[in-house]
Amino acid sequence: MKPLLNAQNLVKQFPVQAGPFEPRRILTAVAGIDLELYPGETLGLAGESGCGKSTVARLLTGLMPASSGSISFDGRELGSLDAPGLVRFRKEVQMIFQDPFSSLNPRMRVEEIIGEPLAIHGIGTPAERRDRVATLATRVGLSPDHLKRFPHEFSGGQRQRIGIARALAVSPRLIIADEPVSALDLSIQAQIINLLQDLKAELDLGFLFITHDLSVLRHLSDRVAIMYLGRIVETGSREAVLDRFLHPYTEVLLSAIPRIDGAKEHRVIARGELPSPLAPPSGCPFHTRCPYAQPVCASEPPPLEEKEPGHAAACHFSKDIYRSKR
């Protein structure tokens, strides 16, 4: 099947200068990643805060330019699109933002917020847009009387529903959700996750779901990619990555998930803190924190290569480490 979204060797760098007399340094937020997402598929992208996930989301939606690499949507190179092509791209790719308290215009009523994409793309008459907005509001669990209110009158979960309705307004083919439940209470998180699952099944949408919570990805994703310090370190099917992981960083993330059944298990803990992307470690970027690191890890960066069919990891010793554990 042809990928709906394809990113090749994607890099994003930011110049950083601490003061007027300090030398300019380069922060590499995204360090040459490859991603593919297929029609109707949910790809989960996970990693610690600061690893570059949100930057990837903004690159893939065209909200910021890449330093190098390429992004293709439905076979069309994003960098080569003319103005009408960019308008079509922005209609077909929508984003749900992380913070429902800052992503909605506080001066617009809900009906204006949801209907704004329809007006921008010139879809329908004013009456048809009003009907479309009312239908979308009902679909995401809002009532008709909510449409005349302002965002400050709603809870966090309701605001996120408004953001979801806005993303659905122009019937996109792909939605990029950047940690859409991280700012919400646990009970509200479950409601939003169930809503996204229902919408995906109903509308056959492609989803890129970005989060730091692997337990959420287990419920939502078809495939999972694990990101560390701007790089993809493991990718594969949900079952392969979350149940038969082949990278120590994935094992660390899974070890951090609390168990509610009371069972005791061996936990793998990363040493130290996440290195600065201003001065990433040599060799494998995870070697400074990896419990299994060997001398070669400090000098030779491991390629992201297929270890099993459809399951890739960037680790020199993944097969040796995990063969003995299974």
* CA–CA gap between residue 277 and residue 305 (Å, rounded): 23
| Predicted local distance difference test score (pLDDT) of residue 274 | 84
Segment 267-292 mean pLDDT: 89
Give me the mean pLDDT over the 171-196 stretch: 86
Whether residue 112 has pLDDT greater than 90: yes
pLDDT at 326: 60
Selection from 301, 254, 223, 162 nearest residue 5 by Cα: 223
User: What does 158-222 look like in DSSP terms, one character per residue?
Assistant: HHHHHHHHHHHTT--SEEEEESTTTTS-HHHHHHHHHHHHHHHHHHT-EEEEEES-HHHHHHH-S
Look at residue 261 in the predicted model and tell me its pLDDT. 62
Gap between the Cα atoms of 125 and 293, Å rounded: 62
Whole-angstrom Cα distance, residue 65 to residue 78?
Answer: 10
pLDDT band at 125 (very low <50, low <70, confident <90, very high): very high
Lowest mean pLDDT among 20-24, 109-113, 225-229: 20-24
Please give the Cα distance from 2 to 71 (Å, whole number): 14
Closest among 228, 222, 160 to 189, alpha carbons compared:
160
User: For 144-182, what is each residue's pLDDT tens digit?
Assistant: 899 999 999 998 889 999 999 999 999 999 999 998 888
Q: What is the pLDDT of residue 251?
A: 93
Name residues whose C-beta falls within 8 Å of residue 201's C-beta, 6 or more positions apart in sequence: none
Is the CATH number of domain 38-66+79-221 3.40.50.300?
yes
- pLDDT for 324: 63
Q: Are 208 and 43 in contact (CB under 8 A)?
A: yes
Our CA dihedral for 288, 58, 93, 44, rounded to 10 degrees, sits at: 20
Phi/psi class of residue 230: alpha, beta or left (left: φ > 0; alpha: ψ in -120 to 50)?
A: left
- 294 vs 267, more confident: 294
Cα of 266 vs its chain's centroid, Å: 29
Q: Read off φ and ψ for residue 295, nearest 5 degrees.
A: -55, -35
Asked whether the predicted pLDDT for residue 262 surpasses 60, the reply is: no
Of 62, 60, 35, nearest to 232 by C-alpha is 35
pLDDT at 53: 93
- Residue 33 confidence (pLDDT) above 90: yes
Look at residue 213 and tell me whether its pLDDT is greater than 90: no
pLDDT exceeding 70 applies to what percent of the chain?
97
- Give the pTM: 0.91
- Give the whole-angstrom CA distance, residue 244 versus residue 313: 11
Distance, CA of 90 to chain centre? 17
- Percent of the chain's residues with pLDDT above 90: 65
**Which of 85-94, 124-133, 222-231, 261-270 has the weakest average pLDDT?**
261-270
Contact between 76 and 29 (Cβ < 8 Å): no
Q: Are 123 and 170 in contact (CB under 8 A)?
A: yes
Instruction: Note the pLDDT tens digit of each residue in 37-96.
Output: 999 999 999 998 889 999 999 999 999 999 999 999 999 999 888 989 999 999 999 999
Could you state, in order of their start, the residue ranges of all structural domains in the chain?
38-66+79-221, 236-325
Section 137-145 average pLDDT: 90
Task: Give the per-residue pLDDT at 252.
Answer: 92
